[in-house]
Amino acid sequence: MEESPLSRAPSRGGVNFLNVARTYIPNTKVECHYTLPPGTMPSASDWIGIFKVEAACVRDYHTFVWSSVPESTTDGSPIHTSVQFQ
């Protein structure tokens, strides 16, 4: 799969999604790796969604999963983590 330009640039919130493919095979597991910038405080109410390109708002997601809160973080360091879509 070809890598998408989305994997090279941080989103507006500063989250950097890594190794984003241009397309994914339906009905397969998708592992989403991302990095939170230094100073970000992860929360149990954070989630990661998969959207169609033409999505008009945050409620137009195809599916989502709750992100995990890392057990420990080092202040001033980026947080590398992942979620898995079933």
The one-digit pLDDT tens for each residue of the chain (86 residues) are: 444 544 444 455 689 999 999 888 888 999 999 999 988 888 889 999 988 889 999 999 989 999 988 776 667 788 899 999 98
CB atoms within 10 A of CB 42: 14
Whether pTM > 0.95 for this model: the answer is: no
Percent helix, strand and coil across the chain, each rounded to 5? 5, 35, 60
How many helices and strands, by DSSP H and E, does the chain display?
Answer: 0, 5
Q: How far is CA 17 from the centre of its chain?
A: 5
